[in-house]
Every structure is written in C-alpha cells, then in structure tokens.
Structure 1
C-alpha cells in the first residue's frame, strides 16, 4: 500500500470578483445555485459559514437518487477562502478535507480547490469529476450565464 494519500487540485479563472465567488460558496442560497455535478440539483442546503460551523447539502439526481454530504468549517476568510471537512452521509467514517483559495486577478478571481485525505484513488477520481462539473456550474452562475 502506498503511503501517499490521494488528493486533487483544480484551478479555475472566473470572471467575477472574489466577494461574489465567496458568497456562492458561503451561503445556502449561493450553493443551491450551482453545487453538484451535472444532472443533479440541490434539494436542501444548510450553511453556517464560520469556523466550527457546519454545512449540509442534499443533492437529487435527475434519476431520483438522493445524496447527502456535510461537514464542519475549519476556516472561513471572507473574500479569500474556506476550508471544511467533507463526508457523505452514506459513509461518515470516510472524512476528507476541502480547501478553497480565492485570489483576485485582472479578469476576476483565480479559484484553487484542493480536496485531500481521500480513502483511495477511486474516490479521488469520482470527486474530481464531480468538482469539475460543479465548478463549471459555479462559473456559469457567478459570470451571469445561468446555472
């Protein structure tokens, strides 16, 4: 078994200011507008975006399947980023960590998402696809193209 714990990092440039991107991450209304891969919608979202606060999101797939994820915020810095634990309701013992960094750039915001502490490489791969599609939806929302 490898000593390397699987992780993923995605970097996106968004044509929106960091404050707008942060708001999309740090409020239930914001998450409801973009969170989740294609062919899903947010059925419920609860957000207490402060260090020690919790979040919970329920996703519904187009085929009716329901998924619930949640965690605890370990860092919340308005306009700059957040960090939180991440665990699916179906596997609470498999807790991982997500870190979001926002940096102002000439065209808007550079977002760096790091998701680490995965149980295995397969889980990291599935999350890479989910985050890639979610970030496409986030870009559409914050850039004003709809979700």
Structure 2
C-alpha cells in the first residue's frame, strides 16, 4: 500500500529553456520526446507509458549503467496545456522500499516571448536530506538533457 509522504523537504529548480512553452510542456507528456531526454547520462529509458489526461498514468523505467531498474509510477493530477503539470510520484529503485510513499511533482511553464520558457520544477514530500540531494542531482541531469532535446527540435 502506498502512503502519502509527509516529508517536509523539497527540491525547487528554475531553468530558462530555449524553446516555446508548448514544446517544453510536450516534452513531459510525449513518449517519443521522453525517450530522448528522460534518463540521466549513462542510463537509458527502457519503458515509457503516458496517458496525458487528468487521472492518467505517467510511468517510466530507466536502466542505469549497472543494469539497475529505476521506476517512476505517477498519476497526473492537473494539466494546463503549456502552463502546468502536477502528478504524484512513486519511485521504486534497485532495492525497492518495503512500502514506497507518494511524493508530489509540479512543473510550471512560463513563456518568455516566442522562443524561450521559464520552467519551474517543485518535487515535494521528501523525507531525508539524501532523498533531497538525490532528487536534485537527478532533475539537474534530466533538465540538462531536456535543454539539448528542445534546442535540437
């Protein structure tokens, strides 16, 4: 049974990405685009399933360089096209937790003219400093890759 986390720690990140808000937003929901950026360097996205509607599933499986399996099981809670995505976040890694808990991810997109987007990411309900630091490092690597994908589009 999954429990909602009550952890008080969070990661908040802001990035300006060269690309329109519609493209940056789509990169979080389009499986073909996710395959191009949604795995840290040295890893690969092995599976992706997205049902882009409120109540829909957003599921990914990343295989790390050692063959470890990292799964994110998410439910989409809110979608405002080119503006906002909110979803639950349940992570299962190579050593699964006995009772994985639910975190919360909010990504907001603000158009800065026609050619760039301010992305604000908030990943909440983290229990430990190690959780927070790992989440920050993971998102930092992913957002670097997202910038490359959007720039190449």
- Residue 4 (structure 1) shift: 7.1
1:7 maps to 10
Q: Which residue of 2 aligns with 1:84?
A: 87
Q: 1:110 maps to what in 2?
A: 118
Moved more, 83-92 or 121-130: 83-92
Task: Name which of 41, 44, 47 aligns with 2:44.
Answer: 41
Residue 52 in structure 1 maps to residue 55 in structure 2: yes
Name the structure 1 match of 2:3.
none
* Superposition deviation, residue 93 in structure 1: 2.6
The residue aligned with 2:24 is: 21
Partner Cα distance (1:71, 1:110) in 2:
23
Which runs of 5 or more structure 2 residues have no equivalent in the other structure? 1-5
The question of 1:93 aligning with 2:100 is answered yes
Following TM superposition, by how much is the alpha carbon of 1:81 offset from its aligned partner in structure 2, in angstroms?
A: 1.6
Which runs of at least 4 in structure 1 moved beyond 4 Å after TM superposition?
A: none
In the alignment, the residues of structure 2 paired with residue 59 and residue 37 of structure 1 have an alpha-carbon distance, to the nearest angstrom, of 9
Runs of 5+ consecutive residues of structure 1 not aligned to the other structure: none
8 Å Cα contact 2:7/2:127 also seen in 1: no
- 1:121 pairs with 2:120: no
CA contact (8 A) 1:81 1:101 kept: yes
Report the TM-score when normalising by structure 1: 0.91
* Matched positions, count: 143
Separation in 2 of the partners of 1:31 and 1:43? 11
